[in-house]
Amino acid sequence: LRAAEGGLAIANLLKEAGLVKSTSEALRMIKQGAVKIDGERVEDNKLSITAGTQHVFQVGKRRFARVTVA
């Protein structure tokens, strides 16, 4: 995925990766504690992922994606 200079917001990243249908759903899942990055639970819905990194994202029990942010 392509990121702007400041990085890519976690909710937008989850939507663009196809892990959720909307940014609202992404924010709801983060609030419920259902989102993990590399096995670490995400608690900050304003988290920004920097360019040049690769992570494994998990939403719920069964939705996974390995994403490289460019």
Cβ proximity of 67 and 3 under 8 Å: no
CATH code, 8-69: 3.10.290.10
Q: What are phi and psi of 41, to 5 degrees?
A: -65, 135
State residue 31 phi and psi, 5-degree precision: -60, -35
> What is the per-residue pLDDT across 11-35, written as a single tens digit (0 to 9) for each?
999 999 999 999 999 999 999 999 9
Q: Comparing 3-7, 8-12, 17-21, which segment has the lowest mean pLDDT?
A: 3-7
pTM: 0.89
Distances (CA, A) of 49 to 14, 16, 19, 22: 11, 13, 16, 18
Residue 3 half-sphere exposure toward CB, CA atoms < 13 A: 21
Task: Please state the rounded mean pLDDT for residues 29-56.
Answer: 95
Q: Where are the domains of the chain?
A: 8-69
